[in-house]
Amino acid sequence: MLLALAEAARGRGRVEPNPMVGAVVVRDGSLVSLGHHPRFGGPHAEVVALRAAGELARGASLYVTLEPCCHVGKTPPCTEAVLDAGISRVVSAMRDPFPRVAGGGFSRLADAGVAVEVGLEEAEARLLNAPYLKRLAVGRPFVTAKWAMTLDGKTACASGDSRWISGPRSRALVHELRGRMDGILVGIGTALLDDPELTARPPGPRTPARIVLDPSARLPTSSKLARTAREVPVWLAVSSGRAPADRLDALTRLGVEVLPFPGDGPIPIAALLDELGRRGLTNLLVEGGGRVLGAFLDAGEVDAVQVFVAPILEGGDHSHSPVRGLGADRMADALRLARVDSLTVDGDVALRGHLPRPWLQPGFRA
């Protein structure tokens, strides 16, 4: 099953909004074949592995990271491929919560005489497909908060200069991460200070929309984002009571799409994520600044963090901290990551962790 999970991860960034799925065929204790879902609309993992196995699949066991589908979608039902191949036993990591499957695949296989086992490495399978599970549970994209900081917790100098905190290899990893996202989001403060492009260089398997939280529509028409809006989508989240009509007209003429939210206050994070979910986003990368990251954290909408800590001491007494917002009154109330992985990248420490979420718990059903 661990091999199947590793195989499934090869589809990251290419299969969304579908889940990542891997499959392994085993016969008499020996590996016969493996496969993964390679891209959205492509063959499912079970079909890839069964085709590679050929006649050796008859009487064999199939290990698969997610319940085989039992409905006609962009491809035929995987349950029928499993039965046609003569598989005698299916071991699955977890039930698929997609309403058109949701246990139906297991029932179809069991009714046809196939032995079915469920739950092997379920926690790992849920972690792998956390974005898919969140979208099905609450209809919102999975939010990864990303920042780079010095060893003393600064994201910029007092002047605002931040180029560069992390090293070239760390920045290359960020571009790889961007290339797997459906959206990259910053606040207007970051957009004004850095004039970023918010693109993946080189391009990855996905082309993320660039999203700016800008209640008053202050994004300059001369900014890199506005000038390239017809090449890569730019979505501007504004407050309808604060954004001047002439500013909106100037930006929309350049190709910027405006997402208006009622009132004249900050952009409501939950409503924003609902809208992004309706637009089909599975993965959202929030890159800052500190107030924006704090707003997502205060709203309970940060699902994972990707942090690069550089061996730099900047010093100073200023507000350039990675996450602001309301914060916790006591250290005991601070959020602790449920799963942490780290590696050293040319002296930087790259740390990734998940926050506890109900859909990560084995057996969770929305």
Give yes or no: 231 in active site.
no
- State whether residue 352 is helix, strand or coil: strand
Could you give the C-alpha distances from 319 to 214, 291, 298, 316, in angstroms and in order?
20, 10, 18, 9
pLDDT digit string, tens, across residues 70-116: 977 777 899 999 999 999 999 999 999 999 999 999 999 999 999 99
For the chain, strand residue ranges (E) read 22-27, 30-36, 61-64, 89-92, 115-118, 142-149, 183-187, 209-213, 234-239, 257-261, 283-288, 304-309, 339-345, 348-354
Q: Does domain 2-128 have CATH number 1.10.3980.10?
A: no
CA distance 258 to 147: 26
- How far, in Å, CA of 271 to CA of 276, rounded? 9
Distances (CA, A) of 200 to 95, 181, 203, 208, 358: 34, 9, 5, 8, 31
Structure tokens at 248: 């909106």
Task: Give the percent of the chain with pLDDT over 90.
Answer: 86
Residue 289 known to bind ligand = yes
- 190 is annotated as contributing to ligand binding: yes
Across the chain, mean pLDDT equals 94
Q: Quick one: which H or E segment has residue 269? A: helix 269-278
User: pTM of this prediction?
Assistant: 0.93
**CB-CB neighbours of 222 under 10 Å:** 9
Active-site residue among 7, 46, 122, 314? Answer: 46
Burial of residue 205 (number of CB atoms within 10 Å: 0-12, 13-18, 19+): middle
Q: Residue 315 pLDDT more than 90?
A: no
Is 53 annotated to bind a ligand? Reply is: no
Which position has the token pair 């091999």? 3
Residue 325 has pLDDT above 80, yes or no: yes
Q: Answer yes or no: is pLDDT of 58 > 90.
A: yes
Does residue 292 have a known ligand-binding role?
yes
Closest CA to 165 of 145, 151, 183, 176: 151
Indicate whether 318 pLDDT > 80: no
| Domain 131-360 indexed as CATH 3.20.20.30 | no
Say yes or no to pLDDT of 334 above 80.
yes
Is 69 marked as binding a ligand? yes
Q: Check residue 365 and give its pLDDT.
A: 84
pLDDT band at 31 (very low <50, low <70, confident <90, very high): very high
Angle ∠(106,12,164) on CA atoms, nearest 5: 150
Distances in whole angstroms, Cα of residue 217 to Cα of each of 194, 242, 263, 271, 296: 17, 8, 14, 18, 20
Q: Which tens digits make up the pLDDT trace of 198-257?
A: 999 999 999 999 999 999 999 999 999 999 999 999 999 999 999 999 999 999 999 999
What pLDDT, on a 0 to 100 scale, did the predictor assign at position 48?
97
335 marked as binding residue = no
Confidence bin at 319 (pLDDT 50/70/90): confident
Q: Where in the chain are the domains?
A: 2-128, 131-360
**Which DSSP state fits 319?**
S
pLDDT of residue 271: 97
Determine if residue 178 is labeled as part of a ligand binding site.
Answer: yes
DSSP state of 150: -
